Structure 1
Amino acid sequence: MTIQINLNQPPFSFLDADQLDWLTSRLDLVFFNAGAPILQQGDQAPGIYIIYKGVVEERDPENGQVFSQYGKEDLFDVRAVLEKSCKHTFAAVEETLCYLLRADDFIQLLEQSGDFSVYFNTDLGTQQSMVERQDSSVSEFILSRVDDDVIRPPVYVSAQTSLARVAALMFEKKHDALLVRNGQDIGILTGTDLIKATLIGDKTKQTRAADIAQFNLIGVEYGEFLFSALLKMTQHKIERVVVRKEGQIVGLLELMDMLSTFSTHSHIIAMRIDQAKSLKELVVAAKRVETLIETLNGQGVKITALMELVTTLNRRLIFKAFELIFPQRLRQSVCILVLGSEGRGEQILKTDQDNAIILDNEHDREAVLPLLQQLHQALLDFGYPPCPGGVMFINDSWIHTVEGWQERVDRWLHSGKPDAMMNMAIFMDGEPVCGNPELFWPIKASWQLETLRSSIVSARFAKSALQFETPLTFLGNIREDHGKIDIKKGAIFPLVHGVRALAFEHAIDECNSLERLAILTEKGVLDSETAQGLRDALVFFLRVRLRQQLESETPNRGLSQQLDINQLRSVDRNMLRHALHRVKKFKQQLVQHFHLENF
C-alpha cells in the first residue's frame, strides 16, 4: 500500500529507516462517515490514528465541550493507547480517512526506539528541543562546547610582578592575557591594558601588575556551549573570559581563538556598533542584525539565547545613537526607557517603537525635544516602525520628570480604566538603556508601594489577560480568518500579561517573562509544573512565530502576528494545541486568583 502522508517529520522521523519501513507495512486505512463515532469514553483504543483526509473532533462526553479538532497528518489518541482507556470521545466531523497503527505495533516501536518513546512520554519543552534538534541544520559551532580544545591554560603572575616582566611572559608564552594573584583575589591583565598604562598612561616598566589588572572577572563554566561564551563577550564588550571547572579557573577562552575556528557575525556587528562615528554607520550595522537572526535561527540557536543576543545588540545600537546625538552636558539629565517586548528582552525581529523618557529637570525639555526627534528618526532608520498607539518619547504623554511620572503612575492605578491599566503594563516593562538610570528607580519604586497594589487594583490590572479568546476551537480546521490565528492576541499576550499581573501583585523587579516565572515559582505563587508549562508554551509561541515571520516576504516582518495554521506540520499543530491549552488553563487560574468573575 502506498502511504499518502509524510512520515519524514517528527515524531516518525525519530525512527530509523528499518523501523519506518516496518511501520509503513503495518498501517491499515480506515474510513469513517461524517458524524460517525471513532472512539468512545472508556474504550480501549485499537491503536493510534493518523488522519489522511477529513476532520476529527475530540469532545468531553459529559458537557459536550470541544477540546480539539484534528486535521491532515494529525495523530490521536496516543494517551488512550498508553493508559488503556479513552478519556474523551472522538468523532468524524466530515468523511474521514485515517491510517491506523495497531496498539501492539505502536508499543513495539516505543520499546525499540529511545527518541520515539521519549517524545511520547515527556513534556512540551523536551518535545520542542527534540523537534528543534531534528529541524535545524545545526552548525558545528552551535554544538561545540568549551573544552580543552578551545581554551588556553592560565598563566599566573603575582601582584608584585613588574609590567616589564609581564610583557616578557606574554611574548614568551604567546598569550595576550595573564592572570594576576593578589591575595585571595584573581584579576586579569591584557596586552591592551599594558599599552594603555605605559604608552598612553603614566605607568612605568616597574609598575606592579596588580596596579592595572582588572579584578571583576567574567567567566563561563567548562562544558558550556561556545555560543553562551560568545554571548557573554558580546554583552560585556570583552574579548576573553575565564573558564571555571568545579569553582577553579582552568583556562582562558579568547575571542580570536573562537573566531579562527568558527565563523559567526554577532561580535563583528557589536564591534561595528561601538566603533561607529556616524548614524549612517549605525544603520549599516542595524541592517545586519536581521541577517544574523536568520543565520542563527537556521543553525539551531535556542530562541532564548537568540532573544538575549538580539536584545544586547539592539540596546547597544540605541545607546550608541544616543551618544552620537545627545551632547555630554545633557546625557545625565535624561533617562531613555525601552518598553513592552523590547523592555522585557523578548523582541527578536523589530516591532514598533515603544519608548519613553524621564527628564531630571523640566527646564531641559526645550533643549531635549529636537534631540529626541533625531533619535526617533535614527530608530526608524534602524528598522523600528512608529508605534500606532503613540507610545514614543516624541509624544508629550511619554515625556515627564521623575515627579511627573510618579503622578502619572498614581493616576493610572487609581483610574482603573482599561487604557490606563494597559499604559501601566507597558511602562512596567520599562528598562533604562541610555542616560542616567538613577532617574528610573524612584519611579519604579512608586508602583511597588503596597498602598498602590491593593487587591482591587491588582485585579483590574490582571483583567486585560482575558480580553482575547484562546483560539482552540479553530485548530486543525480553521473556519475564519482564512486559516490564520493572531498568535499575539490568542496566545502570547494573555500569557505574558498574566505573568506580569502576578509580578505586579508581588512587586517583582524583573521584566523578562521567563525570569518573572522563575521568581514566582521561588515565592510559591506558581507551582513548578505550571511555571514550566507556561515557560515551554511561551518559548514555543515565540519560535513558531519567528519561523513564519522569517519566511514572510513582507516589509516589517516583525509586525506580523498572523500564524498560518495550514503552514504548520502536524507535530507543530499538536504542540500548539498543548501550548494553547496551557494558556487557557492559566487564564482560568487568573480568574480564580484575582476573583475576576466580579469585574
Structure 2
Amino acid sequence: MSLQINLDQPPFSFLEKTQLDWLKKRLDLVFFRKGDVVLDIGQTSPGIYIVYKGVVEETGSDGQVFTQYGVEDLFDVRAALESACKHRFTALEETLCYLLKASDFVDLLNHSQDFSIYFQTDLGTQQSLVDQRGGEVSEFILAKIDKETMREPVYVPAQTSLSRIARMMKDEKHDALLVRDGDRQGIVTGSDLLNAVLINGIGKEARVTDIACFDLVTVEEGEYLFNALLKMTQHHIERVVVTRDGEVTGILELMDMLSTFSTHSHIVAMRIEQARTIEDLIIASGRLESLIANLSGQGVKVIAIMSLITTLNRRLMAKAFDILIPEKLKDKVCLLVLGSEGRGEQILKTDQDNAVVIEDEHVKEALMPSLQKLHQVLLDFGYPRCPGGVMFINDAWIHTEREWQHRVNRWLNNASPEAMMNMAILMDAEPVAGNIKLFNEVRSAWHQESLRSSIAASWFARPALLFETPLTLLGNIREDHGSIDIKKGGIFPIVHGIRALAFEHGLYETNTIDRLDKLTESGILSADVTQGLKDSLILFLRIRLRYQLEQDDKNRGLNHKLPVSVLRSVDRSLLRHGLHRVKKFKQWLISHYHLENL
C-alpha cells in the first residue's frame, strides 16, 4: 500500500528502518462518514489512528470539546494502552484514517526505547527527543567527557620552584599542572608562568603556590562536551578540571576539543578578547548569527545557545564600553542591559533595551558624547533602536543611584500600567560594564517589602493576561491570517507571570528558568507546574528560533509570527500542548492575584 502521510518525522522517525517498514505494512486505511463515531466512551480501542484526510473531534461525556485532529495528527494513544476509551471521537466530515492495531503499537513500544519514551513521558522529554532524533545532530553535541577526551591530572607539590615547573612543562609537554597545597588543589598554566616571570618579575626560584589559581572551574565527568565549552567561554579560560564525585579525574583542554570538533564559538570569543578597535568588534558581532545557525543546525539545545550567546553579547558590549568610555569616567558609570538580554534569553538580536546608573549628575554631561557613540556601535552590531525609547541615550533611562531609587518608589506607589511596565523592564536589569557596585543599591530598592504590597503585586501581574492564548474553544491552535504571535500568545505570559511572582516574593534572579527554580524551592509553585512551564517556554523559543533562522531578514529576531501550516504535525501537537499549559497558568494567576474582574 502506498502511504499518503509522512512518517519520516517524529515520533515515527524514532523507529529503525526495519521497524518503520514493518509498521507501514501493518497500517489499514479506514473510512468514516460525517457524524460517524470513530471511538466511543467505554469502548475497547482497536489501536491508534493517524488522520489522512478530514477532521475528528474529541469530546467528553458531558459534551465538552477537548480538541480536533487534522491531517497527520494521531489519536487515541491512551485508549490503546488502557482498558477502555475515556472520550468520544467523532468524524466532523468525511474522514480517512490509517489504523495501527493496538497489539502492533504495543509491539513497537516494546522494541523501540525512544518510541516508547515519547508516548509515555512529559512535554519536555518529548521535545528533547524531537530535537535529538528529529534532525541531524552533530557528533560534537552528543559527545561526553570521558577518559578519551581529557588528559591525566599531573600534580606537583606547593613548594616546587617555578624553574622546576618550567622544566616539567617543556620536557613532558604539559600545558597545565595541578598543585597540592595541604587540602587545597590549584592549577598553574604556561601562561601563568610567563606572566609571573616576564611581566611581574617573580624570581624563578619562587614557589608555584605563589602563582597558582586555587579557584578551580570544574565540570563533571560524563557531562556533554558542549557544557565544558560553554564554561570555558563564560570564564575566559582554555581548560577546565574534570571531577567525579568531588575527586579530580583529569583536565579538559580547549585545543584537545577543537582538534576534533569545532562550533567556532571560540573564534568569536577570541576575536572579542583580542579586539583593539570598534571595527574589530563589529566583525566579531557579525559572526554571531552564523554561529547561532550552526549551533541550532547541530541540535544544540536552545537553553545552551542562549547561555553562550548571552555571554558573547555581554562581552561585546563590555569591550565596546571599555574602548569608548574615557578612563576617568569608567568607575563613575554602570551599563545595564534590560529585557530579554537582561534575562539572558535573547538569541537573535532584538531592539536595544539598556540603561545607565551614574555616580552623580556632574558625570552625565561629560558622559553623553561617549554614550551616543556607544549607541551607534550597538546599531552597527545589529541592535535596532527601541521603539519605546528604553535606551541610555534618553533622559528617562540614565540616572544616579538616588534618582533610580526615587523612580522605583514612585512607580510602585503609582501602580499605573505605564509605571508597572517600567518597573518590569528595570527588574530584568543586569550590569555588564563599568562600576557594578552602583547598581547594587538600585536593585535593592524594589526588594523593600513595604513597597511590594498586594495591590502593587496585583497591578504588576496584569500584563501577563493582556494577550489572549491562541487556542480556539475547541482546544486547537487559533490562527490569525495563517499564523500566531508566539511571543504574545506563549512566551510573554510565562515570562511576565513568573516575573510578577519573583517581584511579589522579592527574588533577585532575572532569568526566567532561574526564577522558576527559586519559586519551586520556596514552595510557591509545585515541581509539576514549574516543569510544565519550563518545557513550554523552551518549546516556544526553539520553534521560534528555527523559523526565524529560515527568514532572509536582517531584523528577523524581531519576527515572532509563526505560520502554523509550515509546522510539522509533531510540532503542532507539542505547540498545542504548550499553549494549554500557558492557558492554565494564566487561570492560576487570575486566581492568585484576584484578577477575575480584569
Partner residue of 1:27? 27
Partner residue of 2:191? 192
Cα distance in 2 for partners of 1:18, 1:171 equals 55
Cα distance in 1 for partners of 2:110, 2:423 equals 53
Mapping for residues 448-597 of structure 1, pairs under 5 Å: 448-473=447-472, 480-597=479-596
Matched, 1:16 2:16: yes
Cα distance in 2 for partners of 1:275, 1:180 equals 29
Mapping for residues 40-439 of structure 1, pairs under 5 Å: 40-62=40-62, 64=64, 66-439=65-438
Cα distance in 1 for partners of 2:112, 2:88 equals 29
Cα distance in 2 for partners of 1:391, 1:166 equals 53
Worse-matched range after superposition: 193-202 or 355-364: 193-202
**Are the counterparts in 2 of residues 71 and 477 from structure 1 also a CA contact under 8 Å?**
no
**Are the counterparts in 2 of residues 359 and 365 from structure 1 also a CA contact under 8 Å?**
yes
Cα distance in 1 for partners of 2:183, 2:297 equals 44
Q: Which runs of 4+ in 1 moved over 6 A?
A: 474-479
Cα distance in 1 for partners of 2:63, 2:376 equals 56
Cα distance in 2 for partners of 1:120, 1:468 equals 32
For residue 266 of structure 1, report the CA deviation from its aligned partner.
0.6
- Residues 405-429 of structure 1: CA deviation (Å, up to 9, x unaligned): 1111112212222222122111111
For residue 587 of structure 1, report the CA deviation from its aligned partner.
0.9
Cα distance in 2 for partners of 1:521, 1:78 equals 31
Cα distance in 2 for partners of 1:291, 1:441 equals 36
Cα distance in 2 for partners of 1:518, 1:390 equals 32
Cα distance in 1 for partners of 2:68, 2:336 equals 43
**Are the counterparts in 2 of residues 60 and 88 from structure 1 also a CA contact under 8 Å?**
yes
Partner residue of 2:4? 4
For residue 87 of structure 1, report the CA deviation from its aligned partner.
3.3
Cα distance in 2 for partners of 1:468, 1:567 equals 23
- Residues 474-512 of structure 1: CA deviation (Å, up to 9, x unaligned): 999767522100000000000111111111111111111
The residue matched to 1:179 in structure 2 has which SS? strand
- Residues 14-67 of structure 1: CA deviation (Å, up to 9, x unaligned): 222333233222322233344544334444333222111223333445364x43
**Are the counterparts in 2 of residues 478 and 484 from structure 1 also a CA contact under 8 Å?**
no
The residue matched to 2:356 in structure 1 has which SS? strand
Percentage of pairs with the same residue? 63
Cα distance in 2 for partners of 1:474, 1:72 equals 20
For residue 169 of structure 1, report the CA deviation from its aligned partner.
1.1
**Are the counterparts in 1 of residues 477 and 576 from structure 2 also a CA contact under 8 Å?**
no
**Are the counterparts in 2 of residues 68 and 577 from structure 1 also a CA contact under 8 Å?**
no
The residue matched to 1:481 in structure 2 has which SS? coil
Q: TM-score, normalised by structure 1?
A: 0.96
**Are the counterparts in 1 of residues 478 and 484 from structure 2 also a CA contact under 8 Å?**
no
Amino acid at match of 2:591: Q
The residue matched to 2:259 in structure 1 has which SS? helix
For residue 171 of structure 1, report the CA deviation from its aligned partner.
1.1
Change (3 A) 1:92 1:397: farther
Show structure 1 runs of 5+ residues with no match: none
For residue 136 of structure 1, report the CA deviation from its aligned partner.
3.3
For residue 318 of structure 1, report the CA deviation from its aligned partner.
0.4
Cα distance in 2 for partners of 1:359, 1:36 equals 71
Cα distance in 2 for partners of 1:583, 1:133 equals 25
Change (3 A) 1:83 1:170: same
**Are the counterparts in 2 of residues 484 and 562 from structure 1 also a CA contact under 8 Å?**
yes
Amino acid at match of 2:47: G
Cα distance in 2 for partners of 1:393, 1:409 equals 17
The residue matched to 2:290 in structure 1 has which SS? helix
For residue 108 of structure 1, report the CA deviation from its aligned partner.
2.7
The residue matched to 1:323 in structure 2 has which SS? helix
Cα distance in 2 for partners of 1:106, 1:452 equals 58
For residue 135 of structure 1, report the CA deviation from its aligned partner.
2.5
For residue 166 of structure 1, report the CA deviation from its aligned partner.
1.0
For residue 525 of structure 1, report the CA deviation from its aligned partner.
0.6
Change (3 A) 1:42 1:396: farther
Provide the alpha-carbon RMSD of the alignment.
1.8
Show structure 2 runs of 5+ residues with no match: none
Cα distance in 2 for partners of 1:18, 1:63 equals 42
Cα distance in 2 for partners of 1:525, 1:189 equals 45
Cα distance in 2 for partners of 1:228, 1:483 equals 38
**Are the counterparts in 1 of residues 67 and 476 from structure 2 also a CA contact under 8 Å?**
no
Worse-matched range after superposition: 166-175 or 87-96: 87-96
Change (3 A) 1:349 1:443: same
Amino acid at match of 1:295: N
Cα distance in 2 for partners of 1:439, 1:85 equals 64
Cα distance in 2 for partners of 1:41, 1:298 equals 44
- Residues 344-376 of structure 1: CA deviation (Å, up to 9, x unaligned): 111111111111111111111111112111111
**Are the counterparts in 2 of residues 70 and 476 from structure 1 also a CA contact under 8 Å?**
no
**Are the counterparts in 1 of residues 486 and 544 from structure 2 also a CA contact under 8 Å?**
yes
Amino acid at match of 1:19: Q
For residue 123 of structure 1, report the CA deviation from its aligned partner.
0.7
- Residues 113-165 of structure 1: CA deviation (Å, up to 9, x unaligned): 22222111011111111111112322222122222222222222222211111
Cα distance in 2 for partners of 1:318, 1:219 equals 27
Cα distance in 1 for partners of 2:235, 2:209 equals 22
Cα distance in 2 for partners of 1:226, 1:475 equals 44
Cα distance in 1 for partners of 2:278, 2:296 equals 28
Cα distance in 2 for partners of 1:38, 1:28 equals 14
Cα distance in 2 for partners of 1:457, 1:208 equals 59
Q: TM-score, normalised by structure 2?
A: 0.96
For residue 167 of structure 1, report the CA deviation from its aligned partner.
0.7
The residue matched to 1:541 in structure 2 has which SS? helix
Change (3 A) 1:489 1:93: farther
Amino acid at match of 2:191: T
